[in-house]
Amino acid sequence: MDAPEEDIVIARSRARYNEGYMPGFGNDFETEAIEGALPIGQNSPQRCPYGLYAEQLSGTPFTAPRASNERTWLYRMRPSVRHIARMRRIDLPLFRSAPTPDESGLPLAPMRWDPAPIPEDAGTWLEGMRSIATGGDVLTQTGFAIHTYAVTESMETEAFYNADGEMLVVPEIGRLRFFTEMGVIDIAPGEIALLPRGLKYKVLLNGDAKCRGYVCENYGGAFSVPERGPIGANCLANPRDFLTPVAAYERRDGTCHGLTVKWCGQFHRCEIDHSPLDVVAWHGNYAPYKYNLRHYSPVGPILNDHADPSIFTVLTAPSGEPGTANIDFVIFPPRWLVAENSFRPPWYHMNIMSEFMGLIEGVYDAKPEGFVPGGMSIHNMMLPHGPDAEAFYKASLKDLGPERLTNTMAFMFETRFPQQVTRHAAGLSTLQAGYPKVWASLRNHFDPERRDWRGE
């Protein structure tokens, strides 16, 4: 007998929160803005549907191991070679690439900056990019550059691609729209976006007149979710919370468009008579994505002590040496602190890795004063740091019960390379001259007669 009709319910593949996106990390996605635009069962038919061109975008060498191999097939109105005309060099002197050795003129010290105000005329994504620190070398595809951005203008008829590295975007103020050749990503503070190397896109304001945030440009192997080891198959950043956009294209022929390319640290621009964002369908695993940091599921010390910050790694970019990241992206999200008889904030430390920190929202528990949203700090390789005096005495003397850290979202770009501070960052009026004084009132309490120190 046939089942009654109402017993068969087929899911519609659209979750509540991710309309316009496809969930998963590193999936082999496929998406078409027009039905039938994707060839079935092959990449390069003799003639592609709708007269489109097939083009492969390779994020790894063809022969990279299967687990790390990344490429996407694009079906577009013109091959990318038609998006390029005669290039001219342009100057974006504050958008820098590694190496930028020893140009800050600053003495060796932990450094911290207040947020820089967003100028009314900050301009577009490209014009408003300011490099803060670099490490490694863009020419050998190792290392990184860390930038801040201020955006007050949309790139209506301008597009960009970065041949040097992928861009990890961490907004702090304002919503941005990344109209990429693989689809549209909207992000707000609390979310991050990842734009792979070679991806063409433009950046649009999306409801806010002024936007500000941080960018990590990674020259090395692509960011990936970290191994979880004994944590098992769940928690930290779960793959289903990464969202890749569905295909979207612009059909704008006969209008002048600029395309800027960042290539080996130089900028080149050409003008063409159409929009290069003309991909109608694509399939593959080399694609942009976004992620909501509020979906991070932290795992931490549930009895005592303060675990290493690597437990909060969202994304890690390899250096080739196991366990030694080119760059890690780590967050310090809202969470419960429950460790008994423990100093709960970060310990004092010296680190072979170099730490850049920013604050997206609220207060960071190790630095209750002076580290504010939009600000930043650099605790470079083997430079001592830790909680400021206020945080130390408070955490050492308080009665401990379960405590919920709320109103907080700090992050760290942690790298194996020393972070060379740029001339621009060193010259900012927001650089806090007296930063190391935050530790000045840490006293010597040692008394060989008294083992039980109680804060006197």
Ligand X SMILES: O=C(O)Cc1cc(O)ccc1O
Instruction: Summarize as ranges the residues that interact with ligand X (CB under 6 A).
Output: 309, 346, 349, 351, 355, 366, 379, 385, 412
Q: What is the largest CA-CA distance in the chain?
A: 89
Considering only CA atoms, which of 158, 175, 185, 177 is closest in space to residue 288?
185
Instruction: Give the shortest CB-351-to-Fe ion separation in angstroms.
Output: 6
Instruction: Give the shortest CB-191-to-Fe ion separation in angstroms.
Output: 25
412, amino acid identity: M
CA distances, 154 to each of 73, 158, 255, 272 (Å): 28, 9, 17, 19
224 binds, among ligand X, Fe ion, none (CB under 5 to 8 A by kind): none
Name the residue whose CB lies closest to Fe ion.
355
Q: Is 250 in the site for Fe ion (CB under 5 A)?
A: no
Closer residue to ligand X in complex, CB, 262/385: 385
Name the token pair of 246.
Answer: 């569905």
Closer residue to ligand X in complex, CB, 209/350: 350
Closer residue to Fe ion in complex, CB, 279/314: 314
Name the residue whose CB lies closest to ligand X.
346
Q: How far apart are CA 363 and CA 366, in angstroms?
A: 9
- Phi first, then psi: what are they for 385, rounded to 5°? -165, 180
Instruction: Give the shortest CB-188-to-ligand X separation in angstroms.
Output: 25
For the residues of 291-307, what is the DSSP string, one character each? EEGGG-B----SSSS--
DSSP classification of residue 392: H
Beta strands in 39-140 (DSSP E): 53-58, 71-76, 88-90, 111-113, 129-137
257 binds, among ligand X, Fe ion, none (CB under 5 to 8 A by kind): none
Name the token pair of 406.
Answer: 């709320």
268 in catalytic set: no
Instruction: Give the shortest CB-365-to-Fe ion separation in angstroms.
Output: 13
289 assigned binding-site residue: no
Give residues with Cβ within 8 angstroms of 373, minimum separation 6: 115, 172, 359, 360, 361, 362
Beta strands in 82-155 (DSSP E): 88-90, 111-113, 129-137, 142-151
Closer residue to Fe ion in complex, CB, 355/365: 355
Q: Is 217 in the site for Fe ion (CB under 5 A)?
A: no
Q: How far apart are CA 248 and CA 245, in angstroms?
A: 8
Closer residue to ligand X in complex, CB, 270/311: 311
Q: Which of 295, 306, 379, 424 is catalytic?
A: 306
Q: How far apart are CA 205 and CA 224, in angstroms?
A: 28
Closer residue to ligand X in complex, CB, 135/284: 135
Q: Is 328 in the site for Fe ion (CB under 5 A)?
A: no
Beta strands in 310-434 (DSSP E): 313-318, 325-332, 335-337, 354-362, 376-379, 403-405, 408-415, 420-421
- Phi first, then psi: what are they for 423, rounded to 5°? -60, -40
70 binds, among Fe ion, ligand X, none (CB under 5 to 8 A by kind): none
Closer residue to Fe ion in complex, CB, 174/387: 387
DSSP classification of residue 25: S
Q: Please, which of residues 333-372 interact with Fe ion by CB under 5 A?
A: 355
Determine the size of the site formed for Fe ion (CB under 5 A).
1
Instruction: Give the shortest CB-379-to-Fe ion separation in angstroms.
Output: 5
Q: Is 186 in the site for Fe ion (CB under 5 A)?
A: no
Instruction: Give the shortest CB-330-to-Fe ion separation in angstroms.
Output: 10
Instruction: Give the shortest CB-223-to-Fe ion separation in angstroms.
Output: 21
364 assigned binding-site residue: yes
Q: How far apart are CA 142 and CA 146, in angstroms?
A: 14
412 binds, among ligand X, Fe ion, none (CB under 5 to 8 A by kind): ligand X
Considering only CA atoms, which of 209, 210, 173 is closest in space to residue 190?
173
**Residue ranges at the known binding site for homogentisate:** 364, 385
Question: Catalytic residue positions?
Answer: 306
Query: Given the rule CB under 5 A, which residues bind Fe ion?
Result: 355
**Residue ranges at the known binding site:** 349, 355, 364, 385
**Residue ranges at the known binding site for Fe cation:** 349, 355, 385
